[in-house]
């Protein structure tokens, strides 16, 4: 079933059918109705590939995401949900391509073969060759997260530095003096993963500002790693009374580790950080934390991207989010010495 067939049955030309559909040229009421009737009868829908070829646009947006060999974190997945939903609202589909290993191949396929009209990049590194590449080509794109030098690109990001800083302040205000910081994995940190890096920077800056002491730890993205991390913290720095974490996937293990060590939250140990609401509320006591507004970030990413696509001449915008810290039940004053 194609447009020619519809035209034949309606007794008009193909172009008239096309115009009746697009409305880009006036079509008399009676022919329009006749055409519409045939279309309904036949259940005709125009072929997307043909349309894309003729129009030069696919009405699809690309989403490039990490190799993620084993498992995705909640956050990554939530972004995807937000992006797909927001794109749908604008009548765009989302095309996902992992193509892991090869850094380029992933979006070379999406962009090079013109499968999509624009791209969203996640899991940004401070030095990210993909971003450089895209910036050079002029292809519309947006990053969730930002590089070390994001000028001239469109991005949406969480202000990890200041969020972590606020967490430290919060603990400082409560009277804590010795803190630990639970970061993402060693591997991610080393590879210049931006949120891990900026979170760490925030921790260090905050220590200086407040005069507190503290140490940063890296931790893999699972419960077992969280347990190990706590053990490490407790054994190497028994004086720690407050923990700041940006590793939500290890949160459950972190709590368990503390429980196993006989440390009650928040009586013996305060815990705070950045985490999706889902995780913050799943643990007991619920975590005082800044939320990852993943859905909203997805929405913003789409808005920025559509803007790039529609008005490429305008300078790229960005948005840095600093959600407030939601007080729940996991922080309190440090235990009184000798008690």
- Interaction site with DNA (CB under 7 A): 1-4, 11-16, 18-19, 21-22, 24-28, 30-32, 44, 46-47, 50-51, 53-56
Considering the complex, state which of residue 52 and residue 189 has its C-beta at the smaller distance from a copy of itself.
Answer: 52
DSSP secondary structure of 269-298: -EEEEE--HHHHHHSSSPPEEE---HHHHH
For residue 165, the minimal CB distance to a copy of itself (Å) is 27
326 near a copy of itself (CB under 8 A): no
Contact stretch for a copy of itself (CB under 8 A) within 96-104, 169-177, 181-189, 198-206: 96-104
Go through 6-34 and write b for each residue having 16 or more CB atoms within 10 A of its CB, e for each that does not: bbebbebeeebbbbbbeeeeebeeebbeb
93 near a copy of itself (CB under 8 A): yes
Candidates 118, 150, 199, 253: give the one binding a copy of itself (CB under 8 A).
253
Candidates 35, 78, 121, 163: give the one binding a copy of itself (CB under 8 A).
78
Whole-number Å distance between alpha carbons of 108 and 112: 5
For residue 9, the minimal CB distance to DNA (Å) is 12
Three-state SS at 37: helix
Contact of 93 with 33, CB cutoff 8 Å: no
Candidates 9, 34, 178, 278: give the one binding a copy of itself (CB under 8 A).
278
Q: Find which of DNA, a copy of itself, none residue 12 binds, CB within 5 to 8 Å per kind.
A: DNA
100 near a copy of itself (CB under 8 A): yes
Three-state SS at 59: coil
Contact of 272 with 242, CB cutoff 8 Å: yes
Whole-number Å distance between alpha carbons of 336 and 276: 31
Pick from 154, 156, 158, 157: which is nearest to 310 by CA?
154
Site string for a copy of itself, 115-144 (x = CB under 8 A): x-----------------------------
Handedness of CA 160, 294, 188, 178 (dihedral sign): positive
Asked if the peptide bond before residue 331 counts as cis, ω within 30 degrees of 0, the response is no
The upper half-sphere exposure of residue 303, i.e. CA atoms within 13 Å in the direction of its Cβ, equals 11
Q: Find which of DNA, a copy of itself, none residue 249 binds, CB within 5 to 8 Å per kind.
A: a copy of itself
CA 259 from centroid of its chain's CA atoms: 31
For residue 50, the minimal CB distance to DNA (Å) is 3
For residue 14, the minimal CB distance to DNA (Å) is 5
Q: Find which of a copy of itself, DNA, none residue 99 binds, CB within 5 to 8 Å per kind.
A: a copy of itself
Residue list 204-223, contact with a copy of itself (CB under 8 A) = 222-223
Q: Find which of a copy of itself, DNA, none residue 22 binds, CB within 5 to 8 Å per kind.
A: DNA
Q: Find which of DNA, a copy of itself, none residue 153 binds, CB within 5 to 8 Å per kind.
A: none
């Amino acid at each position: 079933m194609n447009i020619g067939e519809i035209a034949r049955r309606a007794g008009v030309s193909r172009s008239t059918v096309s115009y009746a559909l697009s409305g880009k040229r006036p079509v008399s009421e009676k022919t329009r109705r006749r055409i519409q009737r045939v279309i309904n009868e036949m259940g005709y829908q125009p072929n997307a590939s043909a349309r894309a070829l003729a129009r030069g646009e696919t009405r699809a947006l690309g989403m490039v995401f990490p190799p993620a060999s084993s498992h995705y974190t909640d956050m990554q997945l939530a972004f995807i949900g937000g992006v797909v939903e927001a794109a749908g609202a604008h009548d765009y589909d989302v095309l996902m391509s992992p193509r892991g290993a090869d850094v380029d191949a992933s979006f070379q396929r999406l962009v090079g073969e013109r499968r999509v009209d624009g791209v969203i990049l996640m899991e940004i590194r401070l030095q990210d060759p993909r971003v450089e590449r895209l910036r050079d080509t002029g292809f519309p794109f947006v990053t969730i997260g930002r590089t070390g030098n994001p000028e001239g690109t469109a991005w949406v990001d969480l202000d990890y530095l200041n969020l972590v800083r606020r967490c430290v302040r919060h603990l400082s205000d409560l009277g804590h003096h010795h803190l630990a910081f639970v970061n993402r994995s060693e591997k991610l940190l080393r590879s210049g993963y931006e949120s891990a890096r900026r979170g760490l920077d925030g921790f260090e800056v905050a220590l200086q500002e407040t005069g507190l002491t503290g140490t940063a730890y890296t931790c893999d993205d699972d419960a077992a790693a969280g347990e190990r991390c706590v053990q490490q913290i407790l054994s190497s720095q028994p004086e720690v009374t407050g923990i700041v974490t940006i590793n939500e996937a290890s949160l459950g293990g972190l709590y368990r580790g503390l429980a196993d060590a006989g440390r009650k939250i928040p009586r013996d140990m305060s815990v705070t950080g950045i985490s999706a609401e889902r995780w913050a509320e799943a643990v007991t006591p619920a975590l005082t934390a800044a939320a990852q507004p993943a859905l909203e970030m997805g929405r913003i990413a789409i808005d920025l991207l559509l803007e790039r696509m529609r008005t490429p001449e305008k300078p790229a915008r960005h948005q840095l989010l600093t959600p407030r810290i939601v007080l729940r039940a996991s922080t309190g004053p440090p235990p009184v010495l000798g008690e």
